[in-house]
Structure 1
Amino acid sequence: MTRVLVVEDDPQLVRALVISLQARRFGVDAAPDGATALRLAAARQPDVVLLDLGLPDMDGIDVIKTLRARTRVPIMVLSARRASGEKVAALDAGADDYVTKPFNMDELLARLRAAVRRAESASAAPDAAVLVETEHFTVDLVAKRAVRDGRDVRLTPTEWHLLEILVCNPGRLISQKRLLSEVWGASQSNKTNYLRVYMAQLRRKLEADPARPRHLITEPGMDYRFENPARGSAAEGIS
């Protein structure tokens, strides 16, 4: 059973989340403050954390930093803070996703399932396969790090999510609907312009010739795949 830690001081929202998660066969623990959250995270080892930033005893950013120093568990922020600076601070501290309140419950659950799948894929991959090396760049799936020409490539969380899905499925066509659903949520599955923009950004950051990509390929019909012609077996075993 997938276990979720809900860190939220609003009792009504906690109740709604617990009911929705338990109805979908998730195990749920709830913490009303940061100190309780850190204690439960250590004791219960959740598979994903849903975290409000406005906690009564400490800022959620500090909770993220403390959790990230101890574990790679996916952390999804649920917050009423909409300023881009707040989002950047949370993501830079180690959060994997940021959802603003009020939110659609179905979309939140879809994002949660996607976060769990990504974590399971990374943990299930053999040690030799968590480092994907191409002729021009390297992707470390455990450290969540991309390197090109010996330098770290700064990727946004959205860019990383796209790249991770593709490199974990080498040579396989991934539909635009699946990518949109897993990265942006089911309600955004028709926003194909999002995908075009972010794939273009990834190519600019990683491909030697973004206009003629060798690794991040678009197929007719707008499906996508990751190819590694120079090191065809480097990513084998990742699924």
Structure 2
Amino acid sequence: MDFSVLLVEDDERVRQTLGFALGDEGFAVTGAASGEDALDLLSTGRFDVVLLDLVLPGVNGLDVCRTLRARGDLPIIIVTARADAADVIAGLEAGADDYVTKPLVAGVLAARIRALLRRAGRGGEALRGGEVLRCGDLDIRTDTGTVHRDGVRIHLTGTEFRLLVELAGAAGRIVTREQLVRRVWASDYFGDTRLLDVHIRRLRRKVERDPDDPALIVTVRGAGYRIGT
């Protein structure tokens, strides 16, 4: 089946060129030239993933990202020409699952989209055969992609959920940073672990009783992370 992509990009030439290229990769692409247009389309239509430029007229990409994340767990990939740490981290902290930098290669971007859709459970891939993992006082239900504490659901994005499953599945063993990036994002990112750092912070804010003193997602200095008991 075709997956629907909302491409939010104010440069018409880039929007058309990338739209055609992703179409050749099997995606159904709808373009939006501004943040306002994107929010309108998302209010009336259904999309599987959003490609979101940071620099937009009117409502900027960061505000669009925050609005979408407040609405739910729709997968979001930030597209930016500015690869410095501040811009990338700002996009991820706003709720994006991933980021790519311009100039874009359609085949590489398509692979990243498919990997993100698999993490979000929209690509037909089941996690660990539908088992229930216990992590401290959390119940992680891999068949439904949900996490509960005391019967109350904790809402995670697909990426946050996959990260938690990887840690919980290791049953207290250390998982290195490189292993987590490779398993969750299906990439080595050439040593770039900003994605992991931000998602660990976001995940801790949701699942730890005290995010400043984490007991579930434990940092093993110089090695990686392990799940607490």
TM-score by length of 1: 0.60
Matches of 2:6 and 2:219 in 1, distance apart? 43
Residues 70 and 86 (structure 1 numbering): CA distance in 2 closer, same or farther, change over 3 Å? same
User: Aligned to 1:82, what secondary structure does the other structure show?
Assistant: coil
One-letter code aligned to 2:96: A
How far does residue 53 in structure 1 lie from its aligned partner after superposition?
Answer: 0.7
**After superposition, where does 1:65-104 map in structure 2 within 5 Å?**
65-104=66-105
Q: Which residue of 2 aligns with 1:44?
A: 45
The structural deviation recorded for 1:60 is 0.7
CA RMSD between the two structures: 4.7
Q: Taking structure 1 as reference, are residues 140 and 24 closer, same or farther at Cα in structure 2, changes over 3 Å only?
A: same
- Partner AA of 1:51 in structure 2: L
Q: Which residue is 1:112 aligned to?
A: 113
Helix, strand or coil at the partner of 1:54 = coil
Q: Structure 1 37/207 Cα, relative in aligned 2: closer, same or farther at 3 Å?
A: closer
Q: Which amino acid aligns with 1:115?
A: L
- Give the aligned residue type for 2:185: V
For 1:180, the equivalent position in structure 2 comes to 182
CA pair 168-124 structure 1, distance change in 2 beyond 3 A: farther
* Shift in alpha-carbon separation, 1:130–1:115, aligned structure 2, 3 A: farther
State the shift of 1:163 in Å: 2.4
- Per-residue deviation at 1:177? 9.7
Q: Which residue of 1 aligns with 2:203?
A: none
Identity %: 31
8 Å CA contact retained: 2:50, 2:76:
yes
Unpaired segments of 5 or more residues in structure 1?
148-156, 217-225, 231-239
**Aligned residues of 2:4 and 2:47 also touching (Cα < 8 A):** yes
Q: CA deviation at 1:9?
A: 0.8
Instruction: Tell me if the contact between 2:69 and 2:95 (Cα under 8 Å) persists in the aligned partners.
Output: yes
Report Cα offsets for 1:170-202 as digits up to 9, x if no partner: 89xxxx9997386154xx48x6x779xx7xxx8
Question: What is the aligned residue count?
Answer: 193
For residues 82 and 35 of structure 1, what CA distance do their matches in structure 2 show? 24
1:115: how far off? 0.8
Residues 210 and 181 of structure 1: is their aligned pair in 2 closer, same or farther, counting only changes over 3 Å?
Answer: closer
